[in-house]
Amino acid sequence: MPRSTPQNANQESSHKKHSRPGQQQSLKSRRFDPLAISLRKEFRGTTHSNLSPESVAPQDSSADLRSHERTEHPDLVLQSLPSTSRAVDQGIDAALQDAHHFSTGASGNTRSVTTDQQNVTSWGTGHIDPELHSDWSTPRAAIFEKAHNFSIENAPIMNIGHQLNINHQHGNSHGSYGLYSLKEFVSFNALHDSSAQDPERCCHSGTRRNVLDKMRTWMDDPNAPEHILWLHGPAGVGKSAIAQTISYSYGRDKIGASFSFFRSDPTRNDGNRLFPTLAWRLASSVPVVKDRIAFSLEEDPDIPRKAIEIQFDQLIAQPVLTVSGGESAAPTSMRVIIIDGLDECSDVKLQERILKIIGNAATNARFPLRFVISSRPEANIQDFFDQFQSPTLQIDLANVDDAFRDIETHLTSEFARIAVEQKLDPKTWPAQSVIYALVFKSSGQFVYASTVIKNVGDKYESAVAQLDVILGLKPSTGKSPFSELDALYTEILQRQPDQNFLKKFLPVLVARSMLSGVKDLHKDDAMLLGLEERQLHRKLRGMCSILKFEPFLDVHHKSFLDFLDDSSRSGEYHVSKHFANRRYMQRITDVLVKAASKVMEQADSHRSGHFQPRFATIIRESPLIGNELPLNDLEEILQPLLVIQEKLLQLPNMSLPWKPRACGECWTFYIIDYLLLHLACFRGTTQLQELKYVGIRPLIPIEQKQKIPQLDLDTCLSLLLAELRSVESQLSLSADTIGLVRALIRFNPTETAMKVLSMTDAQNLLELIFCLNKKECFKSWFGAAAHNATLLALAIYGRVPVLPRSLFLNNTEFDADNETYQGKAVTIWGPNTVWRDCFNAFMWSNLSHGSLVPCLGICFKEGIVIASALPEDEMLNNWRRGSNPSVSQIQQIIFEVAKAIQYVHSLGIRISYIFEKGDIYLDSDNHAKVQFPGFRPNDMCEEQFNYHDDDGNFTLEDNIRQLGLLFYEVLFNKKYSNAHKTRPSEPEIPDNVWQLIQRCCSWYSELPKIDQVVQEMKSWIALGQFTLAS
């Protein structure tokens, strides 16, 4: 048949423009009479020579299709007929009505009709729509109304209403030959009932009910709008078991054909075999199309070797469409084609072409086949269904609610069977907790549960021993129980095109997976890998079988992480937890160095795009992920940050105490500080070092009377730092050293701190001050001057996060469970964030006030904790319940608490803790000692508060209000309420005491400062309201 030419196409377009209304009809609504269409085609070619003898071939984007000589579909032929053919049609009708000696037989593919005027020969099998022309009023059976003396052989005539269908049947020899030529292209192993298929690979009884019910409802509903059902889920979720269960549960009257792809079988991974195999099975399950398929192959035995578009059209589409008047087209008998594991077709391009072919067929409402396609949600398949416009029923097995319950049912039933086989007690073996653990490990994936059952149920092994191997209670002595699962994971990883990138990504994935409960870290993955987030997702498109992307990037299977962690299973893809943690921290460090360097080179004053990575969440916490690493590893990884910190000390404008460095809303330098605090804590709790400054002896009177050297700040600081650098272990303070210390603390603490330009010098000064504050003799020497030493330590800490080594306690002597240190009872505080715990311990240990319970130092027990001495004295709340104290006694106690608060405020810090009666201890003379485990620097910028995000931003006013509430509660033995507008009658208290309580507890007026409170309470002593205890 000649191909279409541009001229033909133009003629066709012209005819369409001039056709009468009603002549052009939808392809979806036409049905065709095969005999009549053949007659018309031949009639036009022989009798009416004035008509063009050429047929217009269908247009197709495929080169194979364009070169194909046969008419692809009768719909397309009839669309191209010129409107002048109406006269020809009527001529054929008249000729058939008056025909004499009409016969048709089974002599090859030829039918001959003899009339008095002409002989018309028809080739092939067409199918004519009786409503091709709107003005045809003659019923189709009437074409033989006046015909006589004729016979029709081997061409059954089916008359349904006004529709006549002549189904031409070929002799058995031709049908057998046509199908025989198809046989070599059929993948028999891919059929669902093939011996190559595992008959036990079906859903366990009582499982997958919701999914199966949903599929069966769709298959049984003849009016369902969807012609495609896509069953998808990650590797091992049980897609093939569901597909096979559906295939077995229906007979051939519903399942027209099936094909199960399998990547490692060359007969089942070739997409070119799909449509020949489906056609082979359709020929047996739908007998009415058998001859159609066979005839197509007789006409062109090379169809199975041609493009899959041609295969589908000639072997499936045309055969099923040309029997539309038969049983197979009735809605109640619509067949379903099942294609399982499409993603295992080895050629991705073929996968996409198969989907396009099926999608095009599904858009034709008359197409009498539906399709079930099961696959992993690979990117190309997902893209197709995302863009497919026609209704599609999609079932995502990764998000079904009953997966865990079904796996528990499966495991319970199978373990019971195994127990009986191996003469175990199914009531006690295995324990229910073991089943729960296995269900959890399965992550909702049946492949894990099936692997467990297969290995435990090995008839040549002990089920108890095999289960112990799976649970990790004993090593495997032979083949890994997860070898099949390992092969699945390895195959998926090996298919990734960018192997270098894959091996960079896996450590990030493993490290992040260990941070359970931390959200949004996946948003940093792209940044840590030097990519845009969209780039990262594109690179991971081929990992959809293992990874899920919503609500965030994570693994589908927990067993995949176990696979990566075991080098004997994962081989070249092995990623140990240690290696993952190390690489993760290295990438975080690299990102921080890059961000910090950029800011240090050019001050960051931008208003948007602030650097606020999600990994700040894990760095704030204690313990850091890096605690999984040896100290040497962590020191090596964080070394570039130490260099950054040294550079910052040389840039005064970027290292003011408690001020943001450059842009306050960027977290770069806050995170660096946190990491260096982690390093300091890790060093302090793992290295038992001899304290550097312990040899401080009391000064002799002549030394105490020595004059303070009259040196300028630079000279004084330079001399003292030089002396401290020379000390390797212990320092015994000489009179000259003491003089330098006394001289230094006379200067402004912030100004002094700004002149400390190295981390080593900062560390040495803090060690010295910390040790001095621990010595009673220091306070006795200098009195109020010791206060300045604490201010200097605070200013240094505000510039550079270093901790005195003597702040850390010996972990081996710390018993967190019994809350003792060196055998003595202690109170444990924390862990909170690393910054908060470190600052609280640093500040508390530097406080030297008689009314404060001392801090012992820092220990490490699943995080940083602070230990403080547990006073042997009586707690205030117990004392209040067990005695009837006088008002003056209570005034004395509250006065001492107020002085402790005054001391804290004088250092430029405030208490970030709600202190109550249980935090105050009384000795036998009713002297009060207060525990304040939490502090905040007053000068810390608001951005730092927002970043730290602790338990609220306590203010100086909050401390005053808390003091007022405490005063009220101790006096009246009940909690204060805003409803208390009048003074309680008992006990009777002075007016000035009540007025102070009201002012301190107010929420509506300005609260007094702590100095005002202390001064007013001092005046009460003069009035004789109370006296200070000796």
Over residues 277-292, mean pLDDT: 91
Element spanning 582, H or E: helix 577-601
CB atoms within 10 A of CB 750: 19
Residue recorded with tokens 């240090």: 600
- Residue 168 has a pLDDT of 41
Higher pLDDT, 925 or 959: 959
pLDDT given for residue 260 in this prediction = 95
Q: Tell me if 660 sits within 8 A of 610, measured CB to CB.
A: no
Q: Would you state the pLDDT for residue 701? A: 60
Residue 386's pLDDT is 92
pLDDT at residue 334 is higher than 90: no
Q: Which is higher by pLDDT, 138 or 622?
A: 622
Q: What angle do CA 938, 944, 949 make, to 5 degrees?
A: 100
**Residue 205 in tokens:** 């009884």
Identify the residue with better confidence: 168 or 795.
795
Structure tokens at 183: 């046989």
Percent of the residues in the chain that have a pLDDT greater than 90, as a whole number: 40
Give yes or no for residue 223 having a pLDDT over 80.
Answer: yes
Of 34-38, 508-512, 777-781, the one with minimum mean pLDDT is 34-38
Tokens representing residue 632 in the block: 């040497």
Q: What's the pLDDT score for residue 189?
A: 92
In 3D space, the residue among 289, 294, 278, 297 whose CA is nearest the CA of residue 176 turns out to be: 294
Q: Decide if pLDDT at 851 tops 70.
A: yes
Residue 317 DSSP class: I
- Look at residue 112 in the predicted model and tell me its pLDDT: 40
pLDDT at residue 620 in the model: 82
pLDDT digits (tens, 9 = 90+) for 716-751: 999 999 988 887 766 666 667 777 888 898 899 999
Q: Which of 30-39, 289-298, 372-381, 501-510 has the lowest mean pLDDT?
A: 30-39
* pLDDT value, residue 603: 62
What is the mean predicted confidence (pLDDT) over 507-516?
A: 85
Q: Dig out the tokens for 586 from the structure.
A: 């290295």
Interacting residues of 278 by C-beta distance below 8 A, sequence separation 6+: 256, 257, 258, 259, 315, 316, 337
Rounded to 5, what percent of the chain is helix, strand, coil? Answer: 50, 10, 40
Average pLDDT, the chain: 79
For 666-721, write each residue's pLDDT tens digit: 889 989 999 999 999 888 877 665 555 555 555 566 555 666 778 899 999 999 99
Checking if the pLDDT of 89 tops 80, the result is no
% of the chain exceeding 70 in pLDDT: 75
- Cα 155 from chain centroid (whole Å): 62
The strand pair at 110-114 and 119-123 is best described as antiparallel
State the pLDDT at residue 951.
54
- In the predicted model, what is the mean pLDDT of residues 880-908? 93
Q: What confidence tens digit (pLDDT) does each residue in 531-544 have?
A: 988 899 889 888 88
- Whether the predicted pLDDT of 154 surpasses 60: no
**Structure token pair of residue 487:** 């092969």
Reported confidence tier of residue 863, pLDDT bands at 50, 70, 90: confident
At residue 624's C-alpha, the angle toward residues 618 and 952, to 5°, is: 55
Q: How far apart are CA 224 and CA 206, in angstroms?
A: 26
Q: Check residue 827 and give its pLDDT.
A: 92
- Given a cut of 50, whether residue 622 has pLDDT beyond it is yes
pLDDT at 279: 96
Please determine, for residue 798, whether its predicted confidence score (pLDDT) is greater than 70: yes
Q: Which of the four pLDDT bands, split at 50, 70 and 90, describes residue 172? A: very low
**Which tokens is 305 given?**
């070797």
Tell me the pairing of strands 151-152 and 119-123: unpaired
Domains of the chain and CATH, by start: 176-400 (3.40.50.300), 404-579 (no CATH), 582-675 (no CATH), 703-868 (no CATH), 874-1023 (1.10.510.10)
Q: Picking from 30-34, 259-263, 964-968, which range would have the lowest pLDDT averaged per residue?
A: 30-34
Mean pLDDT of 612-625: 79
- Residue position matching structure tokens 């100004």: 751
User: Is the four-CA dihedral 882, 886, 892, 898 of positive or negative sign?
Assistant: positive
**Which pLDDT value is given to residue 714?**
94
- According to DSSP, the residues that pair with 874 across neighbouring strands are 922
For 433-481, the pLDDT digits (tens) are 999 999 988 887 888 888 899 889 888 889 999 899 888 877 777 777 8
Band of residue 897 on the pLDDT scale cut at 50, 70, 90: very high
In this prediction, residue 783 has a pLDDT band, given cuts at 50, 70 and 90, of: low
In what helix (H) or strand (E) does residue 554 lie, and over which residues does it extend? strand 554-555
Coil, strand or helix: which one is 121? strand
Residues 588-592: contacts with CB under 8 Å, at least 24 apart: 588/528, 588/615, 588/619, 589/637, 589/638, 589/640, 589/641, 589/675, 590/640, 591/527, 591/528, 592/641, 592/644, 592/668, 592/671, 592/672, 592/675
Using the predicted structure, report yes or no on whether residue 9 has a pLDDT greater than 80: no
pLDDT over threshold 90, residue 772: no
Whether residue 370 is predicted with pLDDT greater than 50 in this model: the reply is yes
